Amino acid sequence: MKKLSTFTLLILSLMLLSITNCKDDDDTPIDPIDQLPPPTQTGENTFGYLVNGEAIDVSNTRKITAIYQQNQLQLGGGVTNENIDIDIAMFVGGPLEENISYSLVKLSKYTDFNIIDNCRYDIEDAYQGSIIFSNVDNQNFILSGTFEFSTVTDNCMDIKITEGRFDVKYIP
């Protein structure tokens, strides 16, 4: 009987140990890239990017700008809610071609309206960046692609926009 009690105690201890070591799937951190809209090329009006690693999914199409007139593109998007009020804008000139890297140096802008009085990131503050179009459909007015850029201003933190992706219908 003593052996049975020791054996039972050992089994119960192992069960308790295995239960406490189980990892709850809900504790697994979500990869910020998984929070961005999926990459598409069909004019879904999606726009997303990471700001210093934090996911921004522009789900309100009223906050997406896509105007391409006289070989000048203005493209951007932002989010306004109780926690955040930011916007980015990018400018590209010339005829747009697929799979060509266009520079966004001094052609992109980041605005955080919560700190705009203290930190103003102007277009000339963008010191690196590029945009690549994976789809330029001038008949259905669709632009799709990826982008990234970095900007800095005096006495404020560097802003790195990475993993940017868009699939938008533009205004011709």
**Confidence tier at 12 by pLDDT (50, 70, 90):** low
3-state secondary structure of 165: strand
**Confidence tier at 8 by pLDDT (50, 70, 90):** low
Going from N- to C-terminal start, the domains of the chain cover: 37-169
CB atoms within 10 A of CB 110: 26
Q: Is the pLDDT of residue 16 over 60?
A: no
**Confidence tier at 7 by pLDDT (50, 70, 90):** low
Region of 155 on the Ramachandran plot (φ > 0 left; ψ -120 to 50 alpha; else beta)? left
Q: pLDDT tens across 83-95, in order?
A: 889 999 999 999 9
Task: State the CATH class of domain 37-169.
Answer: mainly beta
pTM above 0.85, yes or no: no
CB atoms within 10 A of CB 21: 7
Which CA distances in Å does 32 have to 19, 96, 138, 156, 162?
Answer: 29, 29, 32, 23, 11
Q: Is the pLDDT of residue 14 over 60?
A: no
How far is residue 108's CA from residue 47's CA, in Å, rounded to a whole number?
15
CB atoms within 10 A of CB 75: 24
- Beta-carbon contacts of residue 33 (< 8 Å; ≥ 6 apart): 50, 55, 163
Cross-strand pairs, 109: 89
Matching residue, tokens 């919560």: 114
